[in-house]
Amino acid sequence: MSLSGSALLLVVPLMVLAALMLDRLLAEPARCHPLVAFGRWAAWLEVRLNSPHPARSRLAGWLAMLLALTPWCVVVLLMYLAAAQLWLWLILNVLVLYSCIGWQSLQRHVVAVASASDSEQARARLGLIVSRDTQSLSDDEIAQSACESLLENSTDALFASLFWFALGGAPAALLHRWVNTLDAMWGYRNPRFRFFGTPVARLDDLMAFWPARISAGLFILVTPRRWLQAVRCWRRQARQCASPNGGVVMTTGAGALNIRLSERACYHGQWKSKPPMGCGPGAGMKDIPRAVSLVSRSLWLFMGIWLLAAAVAYSVS
């Protein structure tokens, strides 16, 4: 591969734009998505390795995580071999990053909740993107859950992939996406996964630490009239949330939108209290498009800063 370091600085954000355009045009493929095959592989491992004994379950969680991620080494090898041909290396980077991004799919699922014809349909559509029980939620709680899911998942489905791609190319972005998928499957604090899912949950928290804070910072920057309110929500509320990263994104995003998210959720028939997130009136269906717009504006600000910095670095070199 014959590409100078200065040229690479400019090429990387252009590859990201290409992957974002593919995501906009195609969204996630309905069939044969690589994450589906990876999820089946992970589920197969969990059934065979998980144990009801706490110590064995934790050890099995480490082993299962390492085994689940072994295909990643194959991808790294393929990327290394593809580097001999610049055009092939560029295409593979774009395609792998595209497979990691789930922004259009997330948008469509959330907007589908807002456009539902009745409450029952909205609950059914919300159930596709959240793990909580939706049947007992009021209309406002449906909207609040949708906004919460959008804000939290904007990091996992978008900004974290771009962050890790900037640091390590397609292999780094793919590693984060697979770890995040494992966390979504195993990272529950219930009897089955309390110990088994701990290793991957800790790794996912570590890999999402800076992307979550970058996402929150972007939410602040694109809402100049509410930036101080968003910062206050972050500082005062995020530490009370169960997720060290999701709490940062949700509280800051809700503050930037001047809305409150739901303070309760139902899991397996049991209602659980949640800490306050955001301020102002409780979110309603009309706030879902506003939340989508917040993430979209943050994305284009992120890309604008990145392209400008890359162009300046290229011109200086």
Q: What would the pLDDT profile of 138-149 be if each residue is shown by its tens digit?
A: 889 999 999 999
Q: How many domains does the chain have?
A: 1
Q: Which DSSP state fits 278? A: B
For residues 20 and 315, the model is more confident at 20
Name, in order, each residue with C-beta under 8 angstroms of 67's C-beta and a sequence gap of 6 or more: 45, 49
CA-only gyration radius of the chain, Å: 20
Question: Does the pLDDT at position 1 exceed 70?
Answer: no
Q: Which pLDDT value is given to residue 5?
A: 66
Q: Mark out the alpha helices in 50-102 (DSSP H runs).
A: 54-68, 70-82, 86-100
Name, in order, each residue with C-beta under 8 angstroms of 213's C-beta and a sequence gap of 6 or more: 248
Phi–psi pair at 191, nearest 5 degrees: -55, -35
Question: Does the pLDDT at position 27 exceed 90?
Answer: no
Q: Which pLDDT value is given to residue 317?
A: 73
**Does the pTM of the predicted model rise above 0.95?**
no
- Detail the DSSP E strand segments found in the chain: 264-267, 270-273
Domain coverage including residue 58: 5-316
Question: Does the pLDDT at position 164 exceed 70?
Answer: yes
Closest CA to 27 of 90, 87, 112: 112
Q: What's the mean pLDDT in 162-169?
A: 96
Q: Which pLDDT value is given to residue 3?
A: 66
Q: Which pLDDT value is given to residue 178?
A: 97
Are the C-beta atoms of 78 and 3 separated by less than 8 Å?
A: no
For residues 6 and 27, the model is more confident at 27
- Reduce the DSSP state of residue 118 to 3 states and report it: coil
Phi–psi pair at 189, nearest 5 degrees: -95, 55
Length of the chain: 317
- pLDDT-above-90 percentage for the chain: 77
- Reduce the DSSP state of residue 153 to 3 states and report it: helix
Residue 273 β-bridge partners: 264
Give tens-digit pLDDT for 88-117: 999 999 999 999 999 999 999 999 999 998
